[in-house]
């Protein structure tokens, strides 16, 4: 791959916390806010910021409901998000392959 | 791999321009400033900033000499830089593998 193509890595996905969120969501139908928080090990505020960014780009869908009287926030990957994530993974795979070939 | 391990991706390497620089330097003994600039497609100022950051962390060595009367800046990967870059690539490979297994 050409080195300038590395600069095209999707900046919405490339941030490690967001990469961690998408990696998790790609493997499950949906995940609760508290599950993501615990799995990734980030603060509420930090997780919210990154989820909102992914939501803005329509990479994930955020659903707010109630479990009994407690609010429950769940997130799931959209088709657009899955496509973008897979494109990112493929591009990163190419970068790695270039290194392995040398 | 655990999702929280994604947050451990080396932030010195993870920035796309620096990832592009290291990908190039990993495949050659040394490269001139102008070669890197042309290959990656960045401005002088931008490239300088990122090279300095890599130099600060002792991931690359910057050598300034002269070619005739013209100053010549060349960069090469240090052992420390190669080790850090390989660790980054391996970690990223794990992230990708996790996705492929699903």
Minimal Cβ distance to A16: which of B9, B39, B40:
B9
Closest by CA position to B98, among listed A28, A27, A95: A27
Question: Using an 8 Å Cβ cutoff, are B16 and A9 in contact?
Answer: yes
* Residue A102 pLDDT: 58
* Residue A4 pLDDT: 84
SS (H, E, C) chain A: CCHHHHHHCCHHHHCHHHHHHHHHHCCCCCEEHHHHHHHHCCCHHHHHHHHHHHHHCCCEEEEEEEECCEEEEEEEECHHHHHHHHHHHHHHHHHHHHHHHC
3-state DSSP call for residue B43?
coil
Rounded CA Rg of chain A: 15
Instruction: Give the closest-approach CA distance of A54 to chain B in angstroms.
Output: 17
- CB of A45 within 8 Å of a chain B CB? The answer is no
* Residue A12 pLDDT: 98
Cβ contacts (< 8 Å) between A4 and chain B: which residues?
20, 39-41
Domain extents in chain B: 9-101
Mean pLDDT value across residues B89-95: 92
Separation of alpha carbons A25 and A23, rounded Å: 6
* Residue A58 pLDDT: 98
Has residue B3 got a pLDDT over 90? Answer: no
Domain B9-101 indexed as CATH 3.40.50.300: no
Separation of alpha carbons A73 and A31, rounded Å: 9
> pLDDT tens digits for B19-29?
999 999 999 99
3-state DSSP call for residue A27?
coil
The size of the A-B interface in CB pairs under 8 A is 81
* Residue B47 pLDDT: 97
- Angle between helix axes B44-56 and B33-40 (nearest 10 degrees) is 110
Element of type H or E holding A57? none
Has residue B18 got a pLDDT over 90? Answer: yes
* Proportion of chain B above pLDDT 70, given as a percent: 97
Cβ contacts (< 8 Å) between A40 and chain B: which residues?
3-4, 6-7
For residue B11, the tally of other CB atoms under 10 A from its CB is: 10
Confidence at A93, pLDDT banded by 50, 70, 90: very high
Closest by CA position to A12, among listed A74, A55, A41: A55
Q: What is the CATH number of domain A3-96?
A: 1.10.10.10
Separation of alpha carbons A49 and A51, rounded Å: 6
Mean pLDDT value across residues A91-100: 86
3-state DSSP call for residue B20?
helix
Closest by CA position to A62, among listed A30, A96, A88: A30
Has residue A61 got a pLDDT over 70? Answer: yes
> pLDDT tens digits for A77-90?
999 999 999 999 99
Confidence at B102, pLDDT banded by 50, 70, 90: low
């Amino acid at each position: 791959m050409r080195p300038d193509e590395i600069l095209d890595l999707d900046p919405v996905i490339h941030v490690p916390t967001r990469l961690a969120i998408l990696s998790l969501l790609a493997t499950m139908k949906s995940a609760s806010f508290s599950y993501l928080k615990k799995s990734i090990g980030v603060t509420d505020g930090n997780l919210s910021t990154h989820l909102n960014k992914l939501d803005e780009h329509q990479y994930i869908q955020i659903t707010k409901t109630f479990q009994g009287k407690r609010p429950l926030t769940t997130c799931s990957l959209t088709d657009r998000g899955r496509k973008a994530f897979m494109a990112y993974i493929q591009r990163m795979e190419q970068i790695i392959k270039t290194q392995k070939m040398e």
